[in-house]
Structure formats: C-alpha cells, structure tokens
Structure 1
Amino acid sequence: MQKILEFKITPKTYSVDLRERAIHFYKESKHKSKTCEIFNIARTTLDDWILIEQQTGQLKQPKSPNLGRPSKILDLQAFEHFIKHTPFTQAKDLVSLFEQHFGYSVGYHVILKALNKMGWTGKKRVSFTDKPVN
C-alpha cells in the first residue's frame, strides 16, 4: 500500500517592487509568457496584477474586508452599564443578551476579555444554601 502525502500549498506573497518591475517589463515587451518566465511567476499571477493595476492604479494587494464578528466590544462604557444592570449567573449567558441589547454579536472570549478589563474575575461566587451547617 502506497502512502500518499498531502501538502497544503500557500500562495506566495510578492513584493510591490517585483510586481512593478514585472508590469513595467510586460508593458514594454507586450509578451506575457516571456515576462512570466523571466520573473518566475505564473501567468494567472501576472493577469491578476494587470487587473489590480487597471482597477486601482497601484500594485499593492487590496485588503480583504473583515468578515465575521468584531474582535472587540465597541463601547466599553455602555457595556459596563449593561453588565451592572443586567441579571446573569454566568458569563456565557451574556452572549445572547449582548446581541439583543447592542444589535451585533461578539464571541464568548470577547465578553470574558471585557469583563477582565473591568476587573471582574473568574472566581466563583459564594452561593447560599438552605442546608444547616454541621
């Protein structure tokens, strides 16, 4: 039985200087294959750079927009007021309450980090029971 190795291929990040030199050479020679061969880049890479330059006028890689939840609570003072006036027993209860109150969701770890900033600890609170002490 032959063992098959899997490799995860990550895309190369090229410097802006290399991109500019390759595009300059391509504009002078008008030959994509030769440009790719000289600069050791893929044809699709050169095509992407040409497209980026046409659309933006520069060769910097455009930043992708942030997707997903925010990595922090946007208004800590409002969050602190919310914590003081909202009854809860565990921090995990705050995740859904936070979304209802503020209109956007954050992860559990973000709430824990904000509570820690406010001075709250992860220590368990003493709970009272009706049992007599022996």
Structure 2
Amino acid sequence: MSHGITTIVIGVNELWKQSIELGKNTQSFVQMPFYQLRKMIEYKAERVGIEVISQEESYTSKADLTARDHIPIYGVDDERAKFSGTRIKRGLYQNKEGNLFNADLIGAGNILRKKFPEIFSKITDFSFLQDMKVIQVFS
C-alpha cells in the first residue's frame, strides 16, 4: 500500500494454452502455473486490502491504446475488428503515428481499459509507456 495501490487487474484468457506450438522456449513457458500465480497474488493482495479483478483479455495486445481502438471480445464482436497500430516484434508496439512503445505496457493498459473504459480518457501524451519502471509490490 505504500504506492497507493488499491486494485490489481489480471488479464485472463480462458483459451490460453489450448493451441500452442511447442518450441523450446514456449514449452517451458507453457508449464508456468498461471492459475497458482494468480491465486497467490489474490491471497497476498487481499491480506493487505488490495482488490484483485480478473478481466477477459482478448485483443489487448493488438489494439492501439494511444489511439483508443475499440477492443472487441473474442467470438462476440470481433468479426470486423480493425486495429490502428501493430506489434512489430516481441516487446515492441508501433502506433499509427510510428511511435514505438513497450508492447507489454500497451497490452496491460488495454486490459485496464477493458475493465475501466474511461481510465485513460484524460491522458493525451502516452510517452510514459515507452520506458518501463519496475515497482516491487510484495516482499
């Protein structure tokens, strides 16, 4: 709570791990016990009064947070989904203006936006997403 965190939103994909090509790197990642990790985060967060929310995360890595693209739900309203930016390589996202951003931060921001649609409505400069800052929450 020293950072003022009151809520954690965790992206959840119910179909995760269903159709994965098992290369050497993917194979070890797929075995990560995501459910256990999520439950541990929930347990530790709730002990200190932080709410944990699970949010469906489809298309959050494809949608452009900076352009406020509509983020559809997989299988519900995604038939004609168009995204203005693109992930150009692992870890790097390019918006329609050609600006480069950390792709994980774009995805995380879009997960937040799916849960709280107006969360970034007052932000006009997204340059803070171009560099990551790590904050240790649990010790």
Structure 1 or 2, whichever has the larger Rg, is 1
Q: Which of structures 1 and 2 has the larger relative contact order (alpha carbons within 8 angstroms, sep 6+)?
A: 2
Same fold at TM > 0.5: no
The normalised TM-score by structure 2 is 0.18
Using the size of structure 1 for normalisation, the TM-score is 0.19
Higher strand share: 2
